[in-house]
Structure 1
Amino acid sequence: MSKSKQELLGYQSHLIQDNLTYFKPTRTSTTVTFAEEIRSSLQEPKKSISPKFFYDENGSKLFDEICTLPEYYPYNSETEILQSIEKKLLPYLSNEFHLVELGSGSSVKTRLLIDVLFKSQKHLQYFPIDISEILDQSAKSLCMDYENLKVTGVVDTYEKGLDFIEHYDDKPNLITFLGSSFGNLDHNEGMKFLQRINTLMKSDDLFLIGLDLKKDHEVLHNAYNDSQKTTAKFNLNVLKRINEELGADFNLENFEHHAVYDEQKGRIEMYLRSLSEQSITIPKSDLSITLSKDELIHTENSHKFSISQIESYLKESNFEKLEMWFDSRKYFALVLGKKI
């Protein structure tokens, strides 16, 4: 890709080491800032904080801890599938694929896919797309461990990052969206997201998405209310982040983690519950709020899907389902598709 083409698309390259480069937008960002978004969402009648703000450095570490908990099945279930599908995935791959990952993801899962791709090709280019500007240590570790791997990170939204990669060269991409992040979106948001991904894909691209399945309520409850209270720390950490970055005065001891399953909506809903009537100021958001006792701040939805719902999503967003794989307990699904 020529330098002029990079600049035309509004990106500047940053060489970290020989086989690790990041592209960042040079254009002026039009995205709403952290301070502005917190101001908007916390002055609504039903207060909320977007789950995308969970993942500062400490939040990311806490989420890694959550993935090791015995109650938190999604990580182990998806990893089990990835470890078992090599022979089933290889027939869809040629010696030309790039690996594209939406979100930096777990290096364990990424490595499993890299290992599969290296069975069909000698060289591989890996594109992690993430809005975060933190250059993950795992990318450097991957470069050290795989001699013929080149990592090209794109620091941007998923959609803009995919648009950049589609213009990068003519090689097909295996685009992956692992974990259960898709479940954070409501139906309309999810449909728009899938349709946008589909539009940005080349005809020979493949899309691999992880989806959490509907299951026993107790299993769901325990996954989000673990005995070590790590999920509670993760949820509360977003208030700590607002304190540190926006100068707020949230007292974390005045809040508790609250996660419930809404069967009708088919989703876990996660909140922070105010334990008393209290007032909070957030100077950098130019905001003061009052919370009543037991008032909830919504932080995340995590939708669970039936197989028929998954097939409906795919059909409506113009994807052909090639494969649907499950873990041994049928807790989780990995779906491989291509655009129709």
Structure 2
Amino acid sequence: MSNTLQKNLDYKKYVIDDRLRYFKPHASKIEKTFAEEIFFSLNRCCKFIHPKFFYDKKGSDLFEKICTLPEYYPTKTEIEILKQLQDELPPYLDKTFRVVELGSGASVKTRIILDIFTKLCGHVEYFPIDISEILTESSENLLKDYEHLHITGIIDTYEGGLEFLKNYDDKKNLILFLGSSFGNFSPMDGHEFLQKINSTMKPGDLFLIGLDLVKDKQILESAYDDSQGVTAEFNLNILSRINDELDADFNLNNFSHHSLYNESDQRIEMYLKSLVNQSVVISKSNLLLNLKKDELIHTEYSHKYRLSQIRKLLDDVGFEIKHTWLDDKNHFSLTLVSKI
């Protein structure tokens, strides 16, 4: 990649050793974006905070803890499906592919894919894209266990990372979007995001996406409001992040975690509820936030899908479905597609 391109994308390159390097936007760019987005989203009648801001270091650690909870079925179920892919994915690949992952987190599920690539290719290239600094820690852990793995991390939003990748080189990619993260998008934004991925892909590239399926309401609501209160802590942590990074004075004791399943819209809805009338100063966003008792700040949607909806969604964007894998209970799906 040319120095001119790197400068234009406003990334700084960090080389740890001959097996690990990563690119990261300059800190001033990240801080400005966060401050501006918080000003926009909380300075509205229906207040919200984008769920991508959940994932600072503490938020990422809490989410990894959520994934181990008995009520939280998506991770365990998806791992069950991924194990099916050990024999069923390689026929779609060859030795010229590398692995690209959106939202790599702690890379627990990634290891199953890396095992497949290690057997297939020997030498494996892995490009994780994650907004959280946890990317560097998880990458170092992976390198300890995979002798022939080379990692190029991109610490940025999915959109930023995809644009970076589009201009990087001509190698074929298997792009992973695991978990149920796609469900966080609104239908319109999700459609646009899939179009973004499609436009980034080259002929021959593949995209593997995890999508959570419609199921019993009680199963869904328990998964997003666990008995140990870890999801509540995860939700409230976003206010701690705003306090730390944007010089705000949220009192977390004045808020509670609130979630429900909206059956008509097929989505879990997560909110922070104000327990009192209160005012909050967010200095770096130049915002005085006034909240009434019981007022809600929306933090996340998690849409659920029927298989017919998945097929239509992917077809509308211009993907060709290669295969869809399901677990035994039909709780979750993994779908492999190519660009038409």
Deviation at 1:25, TM superposition (A): 4.6
Deviation at 1:156, TM superposition (A): 3.0
Q: Which residue of 2 aligns with 1:14?
A: 14
> Are the structure 2 counterparts of residues 257 and 27 from structure 1 closer, same or farther at C-alpha, using a change threshold of 3 Å?
closer
Q: Which residue of 2 aligns with 1:330?
A: 330
> Are the structure 2 counterparts of residues 135 and 117 from structure 1 closer, same or farther at C-alpha, using a change threshold of 3 Å?
closer
How far apart, CA to CA, are the structure 2 residues paired with 1:249 and 1:29?
A: 23
Q: Deviations over 1:13-67 (max 9, x none)?
A: 3111220011235798499522222122112011111111111111111111100
The ranges of structure 1 where at least 4 consecutive aligned residues each deviate by more than 6 angstroms after the TM superposition are: none
How far apart, CA to CA, are the structure 2 residues paired with 1:4 and 1:196?
A: 23
Structure 2 stretches of 5 or more lacking a match? none
Q: Which residue of 1 aligns with 2:57?
A: 57
Any conservation in 2 of the 1:104–1:128 contact (CA below 8 Å)? yes
Counterparts of residues 95-110 of structure 1 (less than 5 Å)? 95-110=95-110
Deviation at 1:2, TM superposition (A): 5.9
For the residue of structure 1 that corresponds to 2:119, the secondary structure is coil
Any conservation in 2 of the 1:105–1:178 contact (CA below 8 Å)? no
State the TM-score, normalized to the length of structure 2: 0.94
How far apart, CA to CA, are the structure 2 residues paired with 1:46 and 1:9?
A: 33
Any conservation in 2 of the 1:176–1:209 contact (CA below 8 Å)? yes
Q: Deviations over 1:124-176 (max 9, x none)?
A: 11001123455531101111211111001123332342333344333211000
> Are the structure 2 counterparts of residues 25 and 60 from structure 1 closer, same or farther at C-alpha, using a change threshold of 3 Å?
closer
How far apart, CA to CA, are the structure 2 residues paired with 1:201 and 1:185?
A: 20
Q: Which residue of 1 aligns with 2:174?
A: 174
1:164 aligns to 2:164 (yes or no)? yes
What residue identity is the alignment partner of 1:161? G
How far apart, CA to CA, are the structure 1 residues paired with 2:236 and 2:27?
A: 34
How far apart, CA to CA, are the structure 2 residues paired with 1:222 and 1:157?
A: 29
What residue identity is the alignment partner of 1:108? V
Counterparts of residues 214-293 of structure 1 (less than 5 Å)? 214-293=214-293
Any conservation in 2 of the 1:268–1:303 contact (CA below 8 Å)? yes
Any conservation in 2 of the 1:41–1:49 contact (CA below 8 Å)? yes
- Pick which of 240-249 and 206-215 moved more: 240-249
Q: Deviations over 1:178-228 (max 9, x none)?
A: 111100101110111111111110110000001010000000010011110
How far apart, CA to CA, are the structure 2 residues paired with 1:31 and 1:307?
A: 39
Q: CA RMSD in A?
A: 2.0
Q: When the two structures are aligned, how many residues end up with a matched partner?
A: 340
> Are the structure 2 counterparts of residues 268 and 5 from structure 1 closer, same or farther at C-alpha, using a change threshold of 3 Å?
closer
Q: Which residue of 2 aligns with 1:40?
A: 40
State the TM-score, normalized to the length of structure 1: 0.94
Any conservation in 1 of the 2:54–2:235 contact (CA below 8 Å)? yes
Q: Which residue of 1 aligns with 2:119?
A: 119
What residue identity is the alignment partner of 1:124? V
Any conservation in 1 of the 2:57–2:133 contact (CA below 8 Å)? no
How far apart, CA to CA, are the structure 2 residues paired with 1:218 and 1:299?
A: 21
How far apart, CA to CA, are the structure 2 residues paired with 1:230 and 1:121?
A: 39
For the residue of structure 1 that corresponds to 2:121, the secondary structure is coil
Any conservation in 1 of the 2:266–2:304 contact (CA below 8 Å)? yes
Q: Which residue of 1 aligns with 2:195?
A: 195
Q: Which residue of 2 aligns with 1:150?
A: 150
How far apart, CA to CA, are the structure 2 residues paired with 1:180 and 1:252?
A: 27
> Are the structure 2 counterparts of residues 63 and 131 from structure 1 closer, same or farther at C-alpha, using a change threshold of 3 Å?
closer
1:309 aligns to 2:309 (yes or no)? yes
How far apart, CA to CA, are the structure 2 residues paired with 1:139 and 1:236?
A: 27
How far apart, CA to CA, are the structure 2 residues paired with 1:132 and 1:66?
A: 17
How far apart, CA to CA, are the structure 1 residues paired with 2:65 and 2:300?
A: 18
Percent of aligned positions with the same letter in both sequences? Answer: 56
What residue identity is the alignment partner of 1:143? L
Any conservation in 1 of the 2:184–2:303 contact (CA below 8 Å)? yes
Structure 1 stretches of 5 or more lacking a match? none
Any conservation in 2 of the 1:10–1:27 contact (CA below 8 Å)? no
> Are the structure 2 counterparts of residues 164 and 283 from structure 1 closer, same or farther at C-alpha, using a change threshold of 3 Å?
closer
Any conservation in 1 of the 2:242–2:248 contact (CA below 8 Å)? yes
